[in-house]
Amino acid sequence: MEQQIRAVLFDMDGLMFDTERLGDEVWRAVAGKYGVTMTPEDVSLLRGRNYESGRRAFLERFGAGFPYDDMSAEVWREVEARLEHSVPLRPGLFELLDALRARNCKMAVASSTDSARVLHNLETAGVRGYFSAVIGGDQVTHSKPEPEIFLKAAAALDTPPGLCMVLEDSYNGVRAGAAAGCFTVMVPDMDPPTPEMERLAWAIVPGLTDVARLLEQMDLQKR
């Protein structure tokens, strides 16, 4: 790569924080209370989507009478209660953040979760200070897989998308990063890489520590 990465745009759930499993677990439990059997594949429809996009996906899957708003409110009350005092980190997060800070790399969060929840989780985890911008799903009109959120994050950092690296774990997130014209790196969590992801992603790495190594390799290739 001839151009240096100037900024890194982070997804949140499943990328920085090990929260996707919690969300899946709570959604399935709440669905059971409503007499709805929800499979892991059903819940996966929500990954990388904001509230309205998730709502449309579930109404399409379960029908117009599906009580998405009531169920979603109950799910988020439970999730917020569990994450009130601590947020589980994915391995290597602080190592990567410190490595990027040492490189003077700008950083932003671009998450489909509402911005208030994003800020709470960042503060609770002690990582808010690393990020110059935070864009939540409530701040965009078109959710992932559309590129709007990453374009907004890049603009907030005053950096062209082509000089940004996107870090994502979800299919919709990878699609959005690629559509934005960013160097998109998939760090899989619950969604395994597929041929589509291999085509869209600039790289697929096992974990966050591998991202720091990837940047080091890029530096060596430029010399």
For residue 75, what is the domain's CATH number?
1.10.150
Tokens of 146: 């559309």
Count of the separate structural domains present in the chain: 2
Half-sphere exposure of 221 (CA within 13 A, CB side): 10
Q: Give yes or no: residues 119 and 200 share one domain.
A: yes
Query: Would the pTM count as exceeding 0.85?
Result: yes
Q: Give yes or no: residues 47 and 130 share one domain.
A: no
Q: Give yes or no: residues 172 and 93 share one domain.
A: yes
The answer to whether the CB of 5 falls within 8 A of the CB of 157 is no
Specify if 27 maps to a domain.
yes
Question: Backbone phi, then psi, for 41, in 5-degree steps?
Answer: -65, -35
Q: Give yes or no: residues 43 and 139 share one domain.
A: no
Q: Give yes or no: residues 150 and 53 share one domain.
A: no
Specify if 2 maps to a domain.
no
Tell me the residue range of the domain where 169 lies: 7-18+89-222
User: What's residue 1's pLDDT?
Assistant: 45
Q: Give yes or no: residues 218 and 177 share one domain.
A: yes
Interval 30-59: pLDDT, tens:
999 999 999 988 998 888 888 898 999 999
d(CA 199, CA 222): 24
The answer to whether the CB of 142 falls within 8 A of the CB of 123 is no
Interval 58-70: pLDDT, tens:
999 999 999 999 9
User: What's residue 212's pLDDT?
Assistant: 87
Q: 215 falls in which pLDDT band (50, 70, 90)? A: confident
CATH classification of the domain holding 200: 3.40.50.1000
User: What's residue 48's pLDDT?
Assistant: 81
Domain boundary among the residues 40, 64, 82 is at: 82
Q: Give yes or no: residues 110 and 57 share one domain.
A: no
Q: Give yes or no: residues 137 and 162 share one domain.
A: yes
